Amino acid sequence: MTPAPELPGYTHHHEEFEGGALRYYRRGQGPGVIVIHEIPGITPQVRRFADHLVEHGFTVCMPWLFGVPNQPPTTGYLFRSMLGACVRKEFTAFARGQASTILTPLRGLAHRLHNELGGPGVGAIGMCFTGGFALGMMLESAVRAPVLSQPSLPFPITKGRRANIDLAPNELAQVKARLDTEGLSVLGLRFSEDPICTPERFEFLRTALGNRFESIEIDSSPGNPHGISKRAHSVVTNDLVNAAGHPTKAALDRVVEFFSERLKA
C-alpha cells in the first residue's frame, strides 16, 4: 500500500467497509460532514474548504479517492487524474442512470461516523466528478444533508446524459421518497455557463425531486456584474471568491448554513 502523504492538521485513516476499503483524512469536532473531493484530488483549495467547515464546528472526513493530497492543480495533473478515474471500475463516468460502486463504502463511512458522533445525522458534499455521490449517499439513513457542487456525471456528451445524474432511476425514486417522508432537501450549486454541469442536469433534478431540490446557479454569463469567467466551474474551491457580497461567498455561506440546519440539534 502506498504510504499516505501528510495533510497538515488532519489524521489519516484506513478502514474496511462493505464494498471495499477507504482511506480518508479527518479533522474537527461536531457533526460529521464527508467531503468528497473533485478532480484532480485533495488540492489546497479542497483542503481550504474542509478547513472552513472545521472552523464552523464540524468533523470533516475527506476520502482520498485519487490524486496526490495537497498537490496544487495543473493542466497535466488534471488530465492524468481524469484518465485514471475514468478507467477505474469504482467510478461510472459515461453510463446514464447508473451509480458508481464507490458509493457503497462511502455510505459505510457515513453510517460509522454517525454511530460514533450521534446527533441527527451526517452531511455529504460531492464536487464535479463526485458531485452526484452525495445524492446517492442518501440511501444511507445517516445522511441527512446532501450537497451537489457542480455534479458532472454522467459526462454530458449526449442530450440524454446532459439531463441525467449518476444514479439509477429506482434509487433516485427511493431518495425522493425519503426526502418527502423526512422533510429533507438537496442543495445543488453550479455556474450558469458551466458546460460540464449543464442547466439540463439541474432541470432534471428539479423534475425528479420537486421542491426538495434547492438550487443555486451563479451568473457567469458574459458581462455579469461580478466578472466571473464563463469557464468558472468549482463553486466552493477553485473559483471561490471569499469576499462579502460575492455570489460564491454567498453560496459557501449557504452550504455551511444548510449543514447547520440539518445536523446541529
Express each pLDDT in 15-67 by its tens digit.
Answer: 999 989 999 999 999 999 999 999 999 999 999 999 999 999 999 999 999 99
Position 82 pLDDT exceeds 90? no
Where does 11-263 sit in CATH, by number?
3.40.50.1820
Position 265 pLDDT exceeds 90? no
Residues 6+ apart with CB under 8 A from 11: 25, 26, 27
Q: What pLDDT, on a 0 to 100 scale, did the predictor assign at position 95?
A: 63
| Residue 222 in grid coordinates | 458574459
Express each pLDDT in 184-214 by its tens digit.
Answer: 999 999 999 999 999 999 999 999 999 999 9
β partners of residue 125: 35, 147
Position 2 pLDDT exceeds 80? no
Domain residue extents for the chain: 11-263
Say how far apart CA 1 and CA 55 lie, in whole Å: 32
pLDDT tier at 97, thresholds 50, 70, 90: low
Residues 6+ apart with CB under 8 A from 61: 13, 24, 25, 26, 32, 33, 34, 35, 109, 113
Position 4 pLDDT exceeds 90? no
Q: Compute the Cα dihedral for 249, 23, 176, 99 and give only its sign.
A: positive
Position 98 pLDDT exceeds 70? no
Position 93 pLDDT exceeds 70? no
Written as one letter, the residue type at 154 is: P
Written as one letter, the residue type at 190 is: R
Q: What pLDDT, on a 0 to 100 scale, did the predictor assign at position 218?
A: 98
Position 75 pLDDT exceeds 80? yes
DSSP string, 70-88: TPPP-HHHHHHHHHHHHHS
Q: What is the pTM of this model?
A: 0.95
